[in-house]
Amino acid sequence: MSRTVVITGGTNGIGLALARHYSERGDQVIAIGSSRAGHDRLRREAPLARFDRADLSSVKQANELIDRLRSTYPAIDVLVLAAFRYQLSRGETDEGFERTFALYVVNRWLMSRALRPALERADAPVVLDLCGVGGIRTGEIHWDDLQLERGYRPFKATMQGARAAELLAAAYAADPIRYVLYNPLFVATGLFEPFRQPVRGLVRVASALFAQPVSKAILPMTALIDSPPAAPLSAYVRGRPIAFTPDPAAARRLDAVIRDLVSPLAA
Ligand SMILES: NC(=O)c1ccc[n+]([C@@H]2O[C@H](COP(=O)([O-])OP(=O)(O)OC[C@H]3O[C@@H](n4cnc5c(N)ncnc54)[C@H](OP(=O)(O)O)[C@@H]3O)[C@@H](O)[C@H]2O)c1
């Protein structure tokens, strides 16, 4: 049976490979990206997938996208959260959010929460959240400086996003939706693109030498989407299940903080 698969970041790397896989299988795929280049890539590499353009670091644009999705697709079977960009220096969106926080934390919170009713109408709904779960333990929530106005570092922002993904998933997970946190480790994608030379070239070479090809990396992900885990919340590192114990109080606290930040921007 054909399913509806929504993929944020579906125009490059892992998201694009999933868009190609599911559209070729006959599913209805909606791939979201912010750029014209991504749209062109999707047309070339996954021509059966639909494209919807939105800058997901903008709450306004994300809300407009959500309205379009909700009115066109009453039921959504699969939501893949793969939009990400490594921010070398600190910048803010027009709405005043630090850019990594806006895309990695706020947008994932918004997409999963706003599309919950559509997901609940599907037979076996799955959210696959690509993130740094189970990664380096230095990641922490900077409660007194979530926007990292003091001492921004790209890795610090990324690891805060990874930790936030765990907490927000814990606050969200409930039947009938299966929420799967998934860290693919090192995959050969467009991840070198934000870097400046010579680092860009080095990351590209390291990626070619050491990273897993995307076609191989998505196999455990499609297995999880097609046969979802029994538990409402689970976490995997490169296909291997991992135990993780997010603090429920911190999960509720972060969920409430993001809601308070997003609510004033509601359409
Ligand atoms: N690759 C790895 O080694 C690795 C390791 C661990 C975790 N991950 C996770 O896996 C996911 C996918 O990574 P990837 O390496 O496949 O990424 P990628 O190749 O860099 O692709 C990123 C995608 O996100 C989209 N995107 C970026 N900024 C956006 C914005 N503001 N609004 C809408 N879309 C936006 C891009 O489209 P546009 O450019 O058109 O906006 C593109 O489709 C990410 O969540 C990442 O954290 C990857």
Cβ–Cβ under 8 Å, residues 62 and 110? yes
Whole-number pLDDT of residue 222: 98
Q: How far apart are CA 76 and CA 124, in angstroms?
A: 10
Q: Name all residues whose Cβ lies below 6 A of ligand 1.
A: 9, 11-15, 32-35, 38, 55-57, 82-85, 103, 130-132, 183-187, 189-191
pLDDT in tens, the chain (267 residues): 899 999 999 999 999 999 999 999 999 999 999 999 999 999 999 999 999 999 999 999 999 999 999 999 999 999 999 999 999 999 999 999 999 999 999 999 999 999 999 999 999 999 999 998 987 666 799 999 999 999 999 999 999 999 999 999 999 999 999 999 999 999 988 777 778 888 888 888 888 788 899 999 999 999 999 999 999 999 999 999 999 889 999 999 999 999 999 999 975
- Answer whether the bond into residue 246 is a cis peptide, omega within 30°: no
Helix (H) or strand (E) holding 70: helix 59-72
- Torsion angle in degrees (nearest 10) through CA of 114, 1, 229, 225: -70
In 73-114, which residue ranges form alpha helices assigned H by DSSP? Answer: 99-100, 107-114
Tell how far the Cα of 72 is from the centroid of ligand 1, in angstroms: 25
Through-space distance between the first and last CA atoms of the chain, rounded to whole angstroms? 34
Whole-number pLDDT of residue 136: 67
Whole-number pLDDT of residue 267: 58
Cβ–Cβ under 8 Å, residues 42 and 10? yes
* CA distances, 253 to each of 212, 220, 249 (Å): 36, 32, 6
Cβ–Cβ under 8 Å, residues 89 and 152? yes
Cβ–Cβ under 8 Å, residues 131 and 109? no
Q: How far apart are CA 126 and CA 177, in angstroms?
A: 6
Whole-number pLDDT of residue 203: 81
Whole-number pLDDT of residue 238: 95
3-class state of residue 28 by DSSP: strand
* CA 125 to chain centroid: 16
Which residue out of 6, 189, 195, 214 has the highest number of ligand 1 atoms within 8 Å of its CB and is therefore the one to mutate? Answer: 189
Tokens of 169: 């998933």
Whole-number pLDDT of residue 215: 95
* CA distances, 48 to each of 75, 226, 230 (Å): 20, 20, 31
Whole-number pLDDT of residue 129: 98
Range 4-265: architecture per CATH = 3-Layer(aba) Sandwich (3.40)
Residue nearest atom 37 of ligand 1, based on CA coordinates? 33
Q: What is the DSSP letter of 102?
A: I
